[in-house]
Structure 1
């Protein structure tokens, strides 16, 4: 995760570099223009002064022709005047003959004659007193001035722009200093920005993490009264509100948990005590929450008949648990009135629907009645099939009938059916809810009824209690001891 400080630094560095670069380029170009213009002005002024001086000398020569009557005398007079202003110059004629050379280091160049002839043309046709030629590599300006004194000669002198190099060097130093100052200013501004904005955000983030880890007393403190300070105040107010609400929720949860514990203890009373000399009974009931929507029961209808029931109310928790108590009362009230479970289901379905149709509450159920001769009659109301483990074979028979869930509607004619079967001694019937068959193994695969049958078959020779314990051990191992995602009940009925 890239921190906000890192992003701000990148953005700030980019802006700073852009700012410094733009400022430097503007200053550099402006100073270069000033230096260039100043140099040109100085050179032009020098050339104009020389040209004016030569004009005066020419007038003097013209006035005193009898004195300056030879080319040599004229050149001497010109050089005498030029030496006052120039250190390096050459006077040559139109045949490229050097008439005077002030310095041995300053010699004729190949382009002098060509440029000199141009200067004569410019003077004759354009009236310009001199012509310039710039050598950018050597930082030199050459001036060509035609001499109108009867010698047909041309003066060339050079103006060295050495001060340009010096000024450029000084300019580079100045720009370096400016860049250093700008960098320091930007660093200082960045530190201030970090102190004013970034650090408070880090403090808020750290405190937020503390709260997310459960430290509800975490707070942030500042003396600032600006927006950052107001943000700190708002954060502390929010944190206090969250702390108070969570504490209130914890208090309510404690009350709810206490009530659920009482409800669980009350609900446990409705489950029957499995003690009967005619049957080997064992049951495991694991609620998903403290109270359950699964319900099982055992009824002694008469001296010769016994009823067994398992039911699974839609959902789980308190609403489902309340409906299980209604289911118990309904079955307890009506089971002795019917010899056939399908008729019992029809009556209970109608009564539950009339009571709970506004709440869309329904449940599945499997009920069987066993007489003294081990004849059974059973009916299934949308529940998991019962499993019959025959004592004299490896076969496991599914006992089921067509049938609709109970409590959802009473408008379906013949919604329930029944079937009969004759048991033998040591047969076992296993009733269970979908919290068992729909549990998932460690790979996320549904356990299913086939896996349950395999577990039952491996423990077929044990008593109901031992078989139940073995089934639960295998079941826990298969599901990697994970808590079932629904209420889970298994009820084993062994025939003695």
Structure 2
């Protein structure tokens, strides 16, 4: 028989042993009556009754013993749960303030054995500055003037280290009299340490929160309630956080009328989980009446059920940035007008006509054209496109423009003109910025009306389109590297002989470059336009070309220069 069976049998025997004895006695009496005396007698009834009278008190006592044992076991279990297995330590203090006993876990926390700590003054375990408070508190409990108390105090370990405890103390009563004090000591040292760290972090966060000139805010879209807003709102908007909490509609009222619909639609979309741009610039009216620009960024968040919506945001004052942008734009507009002012005026004569169109992009660019009359029957023509955009490209363009008149009117050959321009680019950036970072493409033409020739060099530029009187198209293709890429540029001119009237179209890459469209298709389109407008004035040719480009949304990001010349 295994141990489990023996344990079950032992518990059964302990519980029902008295009933078993009664059953055995009854069986013995029956046996004696039937097999021994073999008759029913008065003495038998008396004996049976006597046995019952004697055994009944014993049975009652037995039941009481079982009940007491059960209660004792339950009390023992409660004691173990309370005294031995409770996370909080337990202490009992005598009337004289000495420690009567302490639970094992409390002793372990403090590093003492029970023998070392028993009968010592309980108050001696605390910091010197707290001992008087502990003594007074326990005295009040013993006198009955204080029913219970709960305090955070530090207790000294055996090694001298102090631990923080949450102490709860109550009177210990027996027979209606106070015999001492019993209490719980919960170790909260780590909890307090974490609380201090959190408090320090919160303090640092609040310091940052209050010092930065950025508004951080949180808004409950479901309750239409402002949850939090940082102190920077007073500097940017002119009102304190308290005023925004008290008047929820104050912020909306400060939005410039022309921007209210934009802002409200964006916040509404964010609260409804509709994707929106995270950044928005709009105007607000400061409490002083001054108009200011702000940039707002929104971040929506939802609860665990994806229901409640909180819209969080960051607001920056960008008034100065907008002012700088405005000044820069004014300067750019002025620079763009200067660029336009140096462009060559059109020439219209019976034998020779030339005109151009210049469409600048939003920023400064490096597209430029120029032409000069060298002799009565000779003209020098240049179109160029500096790499990139912005101020640097425009400056290179203007620097080159200042040299063109002297170079072209010096009656130089196309090779000499290109060489001079390449030398200028290399000298311009020598010792400062590597010249390879800046270059430009160009086509230079030398038109001779008397000899009916066009000499040209295409330095990495888009091909020019030449159409004769019969509508035949020829291309002026690139014949050398762009200008400024290398110190010594070898360029060889190409010569075109013509007899009858011709038209020539020159342009920069902004006219033909379009995402998703083949370059050949764009060139074919230009050739088709030239054929369709061969009997129209050259101004109409250029207008038609530009109109077709706008229809295809080609002319958007880059500058466009377009030259059309006609020789009769």
Listed as ranges, the gaps of 5+ residues in structure 2 are 1-6, 54-216, 221-226, 230-266, 283-293, 299-309
Higher alpha-carbon deviation: 44-53 or 349-358:
44-53
The structure number with the bigger radius of gyration is 1
Aligned match of 2:112:
none
**How far apart, CA to CA, are the structure 1 residues paired with 2:556 and 2:404?**
27
Q: Is the CA contact (8 Å cut-off) linking 2:366 and 2:396 kept in structure 1?
A: yes
**How far apart, CA to CA, are the structure 2 residues paired with 1:201 and 1:299?**
67
Aligned match of 2:536:
462
Q: Secondary structure of 1:295's partner?
A: strand
Q: CA deviation at 1:417?
A: 0.8
Aligned match of 1:212:
279
Aligned match of 1:450:
524
The answer to which structure has the higher strand fraction is 2
Identify if the C-alpha distance between structure 1 residues 439 and 59 changes in structure 2 by more than 3 Å, giving closer, same or farther.
Answer: closer
User: Where do 1:246-261 residues align within 5 Å?
Assistant: 246-261=318-333
Q: Is the CA contact (8 Å cut-off) linking 1:57 and 1:81 kept in structure 2?
A: no
Q: Secondary structure of 1:337's partner?
A: coil
Q: CA deviation at 1:383?
A: 1.4
**How far apart, CA to CA, are the structure 2 residues paired with 1:489 and 1:219?**
40
Aligned match of 1:48:
17
| Cα-to-partner distance string for 1:16-40 (whole Å, 9 max, x where unaligned) | xxxxxxxxxxxxxxxxxxxxx99x9
**How far apart, CA to CA, are the structure 2 residues paired with 1:331 and 1:425?**
30
**How far apart, CA to CA, are the structure 1 residues paired with 2:46 and 2:39?**
10
**How far apart, CA to CA, are the structure 2 residues paired with 1:75 and 1:341?**
154
- 1:386 aligned onto 2:453: no
**How far apart, CA to CA, are the structure 2 residues paired with 1:219 and 1:53?**
90
Q: CA deviation at 1:59?
A: 6.8
Q: What's the C-alpha RMSD, in Å, of the aligned pairs?
A: 4.2
**How far apart, CA to CA, are the structure 1 residues paired with 2:277 and 2:550?**
38
Q: CA deviation at 1:430?
A: 0.7
Q: CA deviation at 1:274?
A: 0.6
Listed as ranges, the gaps of 5+ residues in structure 1 are 1-36, 85-198, 221-231
Q: CA deviation at 1:247?
A: 2.4
User: Where do 1:278-297 residues align within 5 Å?
Assistant: 278-297=351-370
Q: CA deviation at 1:45?
A: 6.3
Q: CA deviation at 1:261?
A: 0.7
Q: Pick the aligned partner of 1:332 from 397, 405, 424.
A: 405
Q: Pick the aligned partner of 2:564 from 486, 492, 496.
A: 492
Identify if the C-alpha distance between structure 1 residues 79 and 370 changes in structure 2 by more than 3 Å, giving closer, same or farther.
Answer: farther
| Cα-to-partner distance string for 1:67-119 (whole Å, 9 max, x where unaligned) | 961287899999989999xxxxxxxxxxxxxxxxxxxxxxxxxxxxxxxxxxx
**How far apart, CA to CA, are the structure 1 residues paired with 2:494 and 2:554?**
37
**How far apart, CA to CA, are the structure 1 residues paired with 2:277 and 2:514?**
37
- 1:422 aligned onto 2:494: no
**How far apart, CA to CA, are the structure 1 residues paired with 2:546 and 2:526?**
10
* Runs of 4+ with >6 A deviation: 58-62, 64-68, 71-84, 199-202, 204-211, 217-220
Q: CA deviation at 1:402?
A: 1.9
Aligned match of 2:74:
none
* Structure of higher RCO (CA pairs closer than 8 Å, 6+ residues apart): 1
Aligned match of 1:228:
none
Aligned match of 1:411:
488
TM-score, scaled to structure 2:
0.49
**How many residues are matched?**
319
Q: Secondary structure of 1:272's partner?
A: coil
Q: Is the CA contact (8 Å cut-off) linking 2:469 and 2:500 kept in structure 1?
A: yes
User: Where do 1:297-446 residues align within 5 Å?
Assistant: 297-357=370-430, 358-359=432-433, 360=435, 361-373=438-450, 374-392=452-470, 394-400=471-477, 402-412=479-489, 415-440=490-515, 444-446=517-519
Higher alpha-carbon deviation: 313-322 or 397-406:
397-406
Q: Secondary structure of 1:301's partner?
A: strand
- 1:272 aligned onto 2:344: yes
Q: CA deviation at 1:279?
A: 2.5
Q: Is the CA contact (8 Å cut-off) linking 1:380 and 1:417 kept in structure 2?
A: no
Q: CA deviation at 1:325?
A: 1.0
Q: Is the CA contact (8 Å cut-off) linking 2:332 and 2:363 kept in structure 1?
A: yes
Q: CA deviation at 1:465?
A: 0.9
Q: Is the CA contact (8 Å cut-off) linking 1:57 and 1:78 kept in structure 2?
A: no
Q: Is the CA contact (8 Å cut-off) linking 2:461 and 2:478 kept in structure 1?
A: no
- 1:70 aligned onto 2:65: no
TM-score, scaled to structure 1:
0.55
| Cα-to-partner distance string for 1:236-260 (whole Å, 9 max, x where unaligned) | 8xx45xx23x322211111110100
Q: CA deviation at 1:294?
A: 0.7
Identify if the C-alpha distance between structure 1 residues 476 and 354 changes in structure 2 by more than 3 Å, giving closer, same or farther.
Answer: same
